[in-house]
Amino acid sequence: MDPKIVMKGIHMEYYPLQGKLIALEGVDLEIYRGEFLCILGPSGCGKSTLLRLVARLLKPTSGEINILRDGQSPFLATLVFQEYALFPWRSVLDNVAFGLEMDGQSKSERHEVAQRFIEKVGLKEFSHAYPHQLSGGMKQRVGIARAFASDPEVLLMDEPFGALDAQTRMILQDELVRIWEESRKTVIYVTHSIDESIYLGDRIVLMTSRPGKVKEVFLVDLPRPRKIEMKGWPIYSELSLRIWDSLKEEVERSSL
């Protein structure tokens, strides 16, 4: 497959008050073009740090990350956080259009694009509402619409549904995949949930406890579009157990 992101020898250190902390050590990984890759691991293993390195919000202590460009999109990578990160003084329409505004697009152009993605996430009637008027699930829909509206080459998602209730999370998982299948953006999705990683991902990268390394990569051999009934398939439960057997060792190690 055609690689989109290539990580070689990624090493990341922090220097908090108590001394040196090694977050990542020797991470080698290829993410393929158009792939939905999930990253799974115990708390503190460096999953979010890895996303920020890809987004170039951080610079690795050593090693390199190369993103192979597709074209001239001004948005190489866009981050979606668990925290909604919406501007409270901007309407839904203007929140979704924010990146396009920063890129210099005219008001009519950016609103046309923003409105299209607002409709894709089912918020057509809330275009002129403000964040305080929205539920948590609706706010996250705005975040997803804003990310796709910017037309990035890579979409980075840091536990975007982690704070939502189970029912809302399942609905938004399906919405996310539906929009992704239309565009086939390269997605890196951080999660703590084995079930979520299987339901969404093409591959699952399992990280070790800190310092984070790639312990194992699992192929999710399930057809798309994914359906809730697949969770009852033997292949689904077998993969879940395999991942848990490997993850459990790291969770126990991180708690020592």
Q: What is the pLDDT of residues 73-121, one digit of tens each?
A: 666 888 888 777 899 999 999 999 998 998 889 999 999 999 999 999 9
pLDDT surpassing 90 at residue 35: yes
Interior angle at CA 48, CA 42 and CA 52, nearest 5: 160
Distances (CA, A) of 169 to 40, 82, 159, 176: 17, 12, 11, 10
Mean pLDDT, residues 139-165: 90
Closest listed residue to residue 208, CA positions, set 31, 43, 14, 49: 43
Q: What is the mean pLDDT of the chain?
A: 91
Distances (CA, A) of 118 to 81, 146, 215: 18, 8, 38
Q: What is the pLDDT of residues 167-194, one digit of tens each?
A: 988 999 999 999 999 989 999 999 999 9
Q: Which amino acid is at 116?
A: R
Predicted confidence band of residue 195 (pLDDT cuts 50, 70, 90) = very high
Helices (H), 65-200: 92-96, 98-102, 107-120, 136-149, 166-183, 194-200
Q: What is the pLDDT of residues 52-69, one digit of tens each?
A: 999 999 999 999 999 988
Which domains are seen in the chain, by residue range? 3-71+153-254 (3.40.50.300), 86-151 (no CATH)
